[in-house]
Amino acid sequence: MQPSHLATPLATIEQLETSGSQLDGIPADLEDSVRFAGARLTQAAGILLRLPQEIVAQAIVVFTRFFLGPEGGSLAEYDTKNISASSLYIIAKMSAWPKSPRNVINVYTYLDSLSSTFIDIEELERKHDAEEYYVSEGTFQSQKAQLFAIEPHILRVLGFQLHVSLPYTLCITYLQALDVFNQPRASELAKRAIARLNDALLSPQLLYLTHQSPCLATAAIYLAAKEVGVKLPDVEWWEVFDTDREELGFLVVGMLSVANFALEEKGKWGKRKVPMTVEELEVELESRRASNSEE
C-alpha cells in the first residue's frame, strides 16, 4: 500500500484492548498517568530543543505506539523517559532538524531535575542552580549509550513503522477551503484549532492512534469555531473533509475532555513526580500496595 500524506497507520482493536504494561500488572489508571506525563515530557523536550511541532508530534505518536498492545513495550521493562528521548532523537535524526545526543541528553536531564511533574510556572521561572542538571562526561557517555541502545527496541516493536501523517497542514488547508481567512477573527480561530490538535496528542483516548488526520483536523476546526465564535457554513461541511457526524461528535468530546483529564492528573499527583523510570514505578506500586493494606 502506498502510504499517503492523508493516511496514518492506526492501532488495531486488539492493541487498544490491552498493553504490555497491563499484562505486567500495572493498573490502567497508572498507565494513563505515565503515558500522559511521557507525552508531555516529549513535548517539553521538543520545545527546549527548538524542534518544529511536526517533529514533536511524530515523536509523541511513536512514543505512544511503543507502549500499545500486548506485543508493545511494558512500563515495567522500559524507562518511560528513555523511550521518550529515543523517540524524539530518532524522528529528529530522520528529519531536516537532527539533534545531537548531547543536546537531547542535556534537555532531558534538565527536565528531570524539576521538582514535580505538574510544576507551576512561577516555580519554573525561578532561577535554578545549574549544578542540578549538569551532565558530567561519564554520565553523558552512559546516557548516550542508553539513548542508542533503546533505538532498535523502538524500531523492533513498531516493525519500523515510523510513518505518521499529521493534521496540522490539513487544518490550515481546510480553513482556507472554508474561506474563513477573510473573517476578522480567523487567525484566532486557526490558533485555537492548532492548539486543539496539540491537546489531542496528549489525549488518554489516543486520538492520533485511532483517527485519521482529516477527521482530527475537521474536529479541531469545528471546536475552535465554536470557541472563537466564527460562523461556519450552515451545512454539513465536515463531510467535504471526509468526516461523518458520528466521528466528528466523538472527536469533539475527546478533545474537550483532555483539559479535564489534565486537571484531574494535576490534582492527583500534586507536588509529586509521575514515575518516569522502571525503578520509580516500582516505588509507586509499592506505596500503593502499602496504602491498600492499611485500609
Partner 1 sequence: MAGASRWANIDDLESQRKKEKEEKKRLKQLKQQQAETEAEALRAKKEQEELDSRPAKKRKLSPSPENRSASASSGEKRKLLRFEAGGWGPCRNVSNFETLNHIEEGTYGWVSRAKETATGEVVALKKMKMEYAQDGFPVTALREIQLLQHSKHQHVINLREVVMGDQLDEVYLVMDFIEHDLKSLQEIMPEPFLASEVKTLLLQLTSALDFLHTHWILHRDLKTSNILLNNRGILKIADFGMARRTSDPPPPNLTQLVVTLWYRAPELLLGTTTYDFAIDMWSLGCIFGELLSKEPLLQGKNEVDELSKIFSLCGIPTDMSWPGFRRLPNARSLKLPRDVEQNAGSIIRTKFPFLTTAGCGLLSSLLALNPESRPTAQDVLAHPYFKEAPKPKSAALFPTFPSKAGGEKRRRASPHAPVRGGAAPGLGGKEIDFSGIFARRDEEQHGAGFTLRMG
List residues binding partner 1 (CB under 8 A). Answer: 1-4, 6-12, 15, 65, 71, 89-90, 93-94, 96, 98, 101, 147-148, 151-153, 155-163, 165, 212-214, 226, 234-236, 239, 242-245, 249, 252-253, 256-257, 259-260
- Between 27 and 159, whose beta carbon lies closer to partner 1? 159
- Between 148 and 181, whose beta carbon lies closer to partner 1? 148
Min dist CB 292 to partner 1, Å, is: 29
- Between 136 and 260, whose beta carbon lies closer to partner 1? 260
Q: Are 86 and 147 in contact (CB under 8 A)?
A: yes
- Between 101 and 275, whose beta carbon lies closer to partner 1? 101
Min dist CB 291 to partner 1, Å, is: 28
Closest CA to 167 of 246, 233, 255: 255
Min dist CB 69 to partner 1, Å, is: 8
Min dist CB 12 to partner 1, Å, is: 5
- Between 177 and 283, whose beta carbon lies closer to partner 1? 177
Min dist CB 151 to partner 1, Å, is: 4
**Cell numbers at residue 274, please?**
509521575
